[in-house]
């Protein structure tokens, strides 16, 4: 807590200093690209609707920051870049001599939700740059034992000699979660009947359970140029050595004092145990050596990678194992084309004969349109966790599990003049490992497929702006891989400038809807979503109303989230046993600061 206060105090002082010198800074002439980044408010909807990803609502345990998944082909989210977009960082670092940049985003919903995000980017001439990112989420939720506390710190320091003979990157990441787990409502019918108005009086499955997760990741990436030949002012050739060393530690501990809960009727196997605790610890070391060649537009980097692991379960296995890979990465950047590829093969150890291959390609024609293509193939040995596990709640052994195979093809086409985005992706899964209706890992022998098609269009009539998105999804198994067949989203807002055009103001609403589907249930003790075939969720519109202003570098907004709660039926569920949060009022500020 003291560390957080120090961070906040520093940036409050920094902001005050900035305000004093704002007039002077505003008078400084900047280049067009720098000015575009500084005053850009194109992403204001992303800040407002941070619980959406690709126009789909998050499926979580009620509160933002709790365990979650997205019912799309991606299955995972990109929440870490909502308040600190990687594109912004890359654009700034590509400029020469920009002043330090800081974004502070603060969202306040009273006791319902508190979010603080700080994103700082700084360049030290031509020899170094720094990126710091911190996000804190705090929310007690609406029901008993639902509190979420999530702290995420990421840092990166790049340094290089003026002639780029040596380049290095130091990074340190720390994430701590201290979340309560109520296991959902004891009887979801209580919510459907709304028998009591005070949510804190609803009976939940677990009154005294919580988990703690800590993830530490740090390391150094280094590159030394052995040979550098300058052909002319625009072309050069380089041969280089690379060495990457990473260390990570992941620890998850779950504490439970509700052994008689109905959710453990088929799993809790030792009610006499005095300390009800489940835990897994994983320490890993990653070492990669490479020898590469690059010229002005092309880089190829063959490498050898070694990984060692120490894995421990509280009541189960304690083991050491390692893996070695051989592979190569490829990058091609020229004019309108940007291509990145990587391939590696497990040559020995636990992941022997594993295959990982991915390709990402972008084609941009000026500001007219952009085409993105992503393809990846994975053939991987299941994690030790899926093969053997023992705790006070669960026990399984699955040494016969085969390697899992995933093939993904995704494409995105954006036409700037039409403000039109088309997305199509599909995933083929073989030997899929999932958690069955008893929350136990199982392997599906037949092939499964999931796919998503999306069209998103922005348009306007005078000062009224519209953004419409429609998703159509297909799944080969509605229980193992549940997804709504149709999801839709409509945003409408009025935009104008006031106070002699100094302030931009937007007033509007957002509606999100999906058809019914058998969403996964959640098992707290192992923090896993699992298949269920009893309850469908969906077929409910979520309506938000917002007022957003943009004054130079600051976005300030007021948002009434889920304003229709209680008026469109009591069927707004995030999981089969957890309702979404009710109506809430939010105030937020997102401020870009340059100094």
Q: What CA–CA distance (Å, rounded) separates 278 from 524?
A: 11
Quote the pLDDT of residue 1: 46
Q: Read off φ and ψ for residue 367, nearest 5 degrees.
A: -105, 15
By the 8 A CB rule, do 251 and 213 touch? yes
- Interior CA angle at 161 toward 159 and 165, to 5°? 115
Parallel/antiparallel/unpaired status of strands 573-575 and 578-579:
antiparallel
The full DSSP string for 443-454 is EE-S-EEEEEEE
Helix (H), strand (E) at residue 192: helix 188-193
- Give the mean pLDDT per block of 10 residues along the chain (595 residues): 44 37 36 63 85 85 88 67 71 75 90 90 88 93 93 94 88 95 89 75 90 96 89 79 97 87 75 71 96 92 97 91 97 91 97 97 87 96 94 90 96 93 95 94 94 95 96 95 95 92 92 95 92 93 95 90 88 91 92 78
Q: What CA–CA distance (Å, rounded) separates 353 from 110?
A: 52
Parallel/antiparallel/unpaired status of strands 318-334 and 337-349:
antiparallel
Candidates 246, 248, 94; CA nearest to 170 is 246
For the chain, domains (ranges, CATH) are 2-594 (2.40.170.20)
Quote the pLDDT of residue 319: 94
- Rounded to two decimals, the pTM is 0.88
Which alpha helices (H) appear in 338-451, and where do they start and end? 384-387
Q: What CA–CA distance (Å, rounded) separates 74 from 529?
A: 16
Radius of gyration of the chain (CA): 25
Q: What CA–CA distance (Å, rounded) separates 514 from 473?
A: 11
Q: Tokens representing 583? A: 């109506």
Quote the pLDDT of residue 192: 81
Q: What CA–CA distance (Å, rounded) separates 519 from 521?
A: 7
SS3 for 190?
helix
């Amino acid at each position: 807590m003291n560390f957080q206060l120090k961070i906040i105090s520093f940036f409050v002082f920094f902001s005050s200093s900035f305000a004093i010198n704002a007039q002077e800074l505003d008078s400084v002439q900047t280049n067009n690209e720098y000015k575009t980044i500084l005053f850009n408010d194109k992403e204001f909807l992303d800040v407002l609707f941070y619980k959406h990803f690709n126009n789909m609502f998050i499926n979580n345990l009620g509160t933002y920051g709790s365990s979650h998944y997205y019912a799309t082909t991606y299955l995972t989210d990109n929440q870490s870049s909502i308040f600190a977009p990687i594109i912004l960082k890359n654009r700034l670092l590509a400029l020469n001599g920009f002043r330090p940049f800081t974004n502070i985003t603060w969202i306040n919903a009273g006791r319902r939700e508190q979010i603080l995000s700080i994103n700082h980017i700084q360049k030290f001439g031509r020899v170094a740059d720094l990126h710091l990112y911190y996000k804190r989420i705090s929310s007690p939720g609406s029901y008993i034992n639902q509190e979420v506390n999530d702290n995420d710190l990421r840092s990166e320091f790049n340094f290089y000699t003026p002639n780029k003979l040596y380049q290095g990157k130091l990074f340190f990441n720390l994430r701590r979660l201290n979340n309560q787990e109520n296991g959902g409502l004891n009887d979801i019918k209580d919510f459907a009947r709304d028998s009591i108005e005070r949510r804190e009086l609803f009976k939940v499955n677990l009154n005294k359970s919580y988990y703690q997760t800590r993830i530490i990741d740090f390391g150094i990436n280094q590159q030394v140029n052995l040979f550098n030949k300058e052909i002319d002012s625009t072309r050069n050739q380089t041969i280089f050595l690379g060495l990457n060393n990473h260390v990570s530690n992941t620890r998850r501990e779950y504490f439970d004092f509700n052994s008689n809960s109905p959710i453990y009727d088929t799993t809790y196997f030792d009610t006499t145990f005095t300390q009800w605790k489940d835990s897994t610890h994983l320490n890993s070391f990653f070492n990669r050596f490479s020898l590469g060649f690059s010229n002005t537009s092309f880089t190829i980097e063959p490498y050898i990678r070694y990984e060692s692991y120490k894995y421990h379960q509280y009541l189960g296995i304690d083991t050491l194992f390692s893996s070695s890979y051989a592979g190569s990465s490829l990058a091609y950047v020229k004019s309108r084309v940007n291509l990145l590829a990587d391939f590696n093969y497990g040559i020995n150890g636990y992941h022997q004969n594993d295959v990982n291959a991915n390709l990402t390609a972008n084609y941009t024609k000026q500001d007219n349109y952009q085409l993105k293509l992503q393809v990846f193939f994975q053939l991987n040995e299941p994690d030790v966790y899926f093969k053997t596990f023992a705790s006070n709640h669960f026990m399984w052994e699955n040494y016969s599990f085969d390697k899992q195979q995933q093939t993904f093809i995704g494409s995105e086409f954006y036409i700037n003049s039409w403000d039109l985005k088309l997305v199509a992706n599909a995933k083929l899964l073989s030997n899929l490992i999932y958690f069955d209706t008893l929350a136990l890992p199982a392997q599906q022998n037949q092939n499964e497929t999931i796919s998503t098609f999306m069209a998103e269009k922005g348009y306007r009539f005078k000062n009224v702006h519209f953004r419409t998105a429609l998703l159509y999804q297909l799944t080969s198994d509605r229980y193992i891989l549940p997804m709504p067949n149709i999801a839709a989203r409509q945003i409408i807002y009025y935009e104008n400038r006031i106070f002699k055009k100094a302030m931009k103001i937007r007033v509007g609403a957002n509606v999100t809807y999906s058809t019914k589907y058998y969403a996964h249930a959640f098992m707290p003790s192992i923090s896993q979503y699992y298949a269920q075939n009893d309850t469908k969720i969906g077929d409910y519109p979520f309506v938000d109303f917002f007022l957003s202003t943009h004054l130079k570098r600051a976005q300030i907004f007021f948002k009434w989230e889920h304003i229709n709660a209680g008026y469109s039926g009591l069927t707004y569920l995030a999981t089969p046993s957890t309702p979404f949060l009710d109506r809430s009022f939010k105030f937020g500020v997102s401020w870009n600061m340059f100094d």
